[in-house]
Amino acid sequence: MACTGRLRREFRLKSFGLDHREHLDFTRSPWFSSPVPFLVYRVVICLYQICTYSVAHSRYGISPKSLIYLTEQGYIILTAHTIVSAVLCFVDFFCSRCRPTSSDDHPTFPDEPTTQSTDAIYQTGQSLTLPWYYKGYWVLYNVVFSAGLFITIAFWALLADDEGPYSILFHAINSVVIVIDVVVSGLPYRLLHFVYPSAFALAYMLFTVIYWAAGGTDFFGRPWIYPVIDYGGNPAMAAGVAAGSVLVAIPLCHVILFGLALAREMLSGLVKRRSLPISEGVRMEQHKEEERA
């Protein structure tokens, strides 16, 4: 019943938006009571992304033309996501150390309501306005993860012709990082936020059309970026792959990650309820119901 109610709420019109009550969901993990382990995790993943991207391109070379490939763009924005997430966790940790508060409070950021105004908003049942940088990070999170999973599936299903270290790193390990992050982090995942990665995919497909029409070529001088979207040689297949990617494949990848996030929420909630006294568990459930109302 709880899962059914959760899914029903996902289809409300306001679920397209970027408002969320709890800021700590973006910088904390539901699995740890302290922010330190999650901060360490964020820093490690950030350093891993930066190092692997740098080492891979120092070995295989880098060219501005590599930016025409979705794989390259996907890995760049995944690395950008890890950097931004690490910075936000550092800011959260620093603010929490400078302003000791109760366990129910959260650090104050620019443009964020104070604790007193936050309590008043909860009492009146209004929704909190998420600061712009959290909203931007949330959009980036949705785009990076859904597009990253799509890149992995599309490459191994349609394009894979070798299994070298570069292919495994950029087309397999990237999704391992994504799945681990969904499981470990507390970032909210909304079903209707598929519009953001789909918009990104649409922009990329429009770019491939313009690039082809302008006479662009791949690294080997062939008149396409990927052979499955050869608009000159096989326009029907190219149009089908482009439309299917935007309208079907990307939303489906988003649904898969949403299901993983939903399982994380249910499991972490169960663990918390079992670790709390009965009265605390009941109060936590009441608080969640008030947030969802």
SS (H, E, C) 47-94: HHHHHHHHHHHHHHCCCHHHHHCHHHHHHHHHHHHHHHHHHHHHHHHH
- pLDDT of res. 276: 62
Strand residues in the chain grouped as ranges (E): none
Least confident of 24-38, 43-57, 125-139: 125-139
**Contact (CB, 8 A) for 82 and 45:** yes
**Contact (CB, 8 A) for 284 and 202:** no
- pLDDT of res. 277: 61
- pLDDT of res. 23: 83
**Contact (CB, 8 A) for 169 and 52:** yes
The two structure tokens encoding residue 137: 């990070």
Tell me the C-alpha distance between 291 and 293, whole Å. Answer: 6
pLDDT in tens, 176-211: 999 999 999 999 999 999 999 999 999 999 999 999
Tell me, what amino acid is at 201? A
Domain boundary assignment for the chain: 2-292
Tell me the C-alpha distance between 97 and 107, whole Å. Answer: 9
